[in-house]
Structure formats: C-alpha cells, structure tokens
C-alpha cells in the first residue's frame, strides 16, 4: 500500500500549525498548498487523519462561512463545537461567531 505522500502530509502539517483560538478554512489551506481547486481533498485528508489517530486539531478547520460542516465526523457531533469553545472561540448555531477576527490566514501567518 502506497504511503500517503504529498497531499495528505501537507494538509495535516498546515492544520497542526493553526494557533490555539484561531480557525481557518478548507479553501485557504488548499490555496496555500497550491491546490486551490482541491479544497474538498482537504476535508478528506482531515477525515482520514481522525481514523489514523493522528494528533490533528481538525476542529480548527471550518468552511469559508465559518460553519462547522465537519462536526458530524467527530467522535460526537458536539465535540467540535465544545473544543472550539474551550479555546475561546464563540460558536453558536453551528457557526463560528466573530469569524473574521479568529480566522487564521496561512498566507499572512506563515513565511
């Protein structure tokens, strides 16, 4: 079986760099990796990362509207929301409040 090469690793690497109390979007990650049109693959990689028992803060990744679109893939549907709240992020009705302020842009935060 082929080991997960570039894509999988790169995605997880960026996600792991997301600071506590900040969030980012699938599209932003994809764009940063130079695969702007493969934003769906970012979510796929995260989903796989959960199965593989990797230490990935997947709860810090939401869609471009700040919606917790991936909450259903966690151990519990409420896990993602609680994790975000524990980091000081306001989450209400499935969406990140103050999204503009907590948004973490790889382009401006990484070299």
Q: Which residues contact DNA (rule: CB under 7 A)?
A: 4-5, 7-8, 25-27, 35, 37-44, 46-50, 58-59, 61, 63-65, 69-70, 73-74
Closest distance of CB 30 from DNA, Å: 8
Closest distance of CB 56 from DNA, Å: 8
Spell out the long-range contacts of 104-110 with Cβ–Cβ below 8 A and sequence spacing 24 or more.
104/18, 104/19, 104/22, 104/23, 104/24, 104/60, 105/24, 105/28, 106/14, 106/17, 106/24, 106/28, 106/29, 106/32, 107/28, 107/31, 107/32, 109/19, 110/14, 110/17, 110/32
Nearer to DNA, 1 or 108 (CB): 1
Nearer to DNA, 7 or 17 (CB): 7
Closest distance of CB 47 from DNA, Å: 3
Nearer to DNA, 21 or 111 (CB): 21
β-sheet bridge partners, residue 23: 103
Closest distance of CB 82 from DNA, Å: 14
């Amino acid at each position: 079986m082929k080991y997960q090469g570039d894509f999988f690793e790169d995605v997880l690497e960026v996600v792991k760099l997301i600071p506590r109390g900040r969030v980012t979007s699938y599209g932003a990650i994809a764009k940063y990796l130079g695969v702007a049109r493969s934003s769906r693959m970012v979510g796929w990689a995260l989903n796989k990362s959960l199965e593989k028992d990797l230490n990935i803060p997947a709860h810090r990744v939401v869609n471009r509207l700040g919606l917790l679109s991936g909450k259903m893939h966690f151990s519990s549907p409420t896990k993602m929301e609680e994790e975000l709240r524990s980091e000081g992020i306001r989450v209400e009705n499935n969406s990140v409040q103050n999204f503009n302020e907590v948004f973490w842009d790889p382009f401006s935060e990484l070299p």
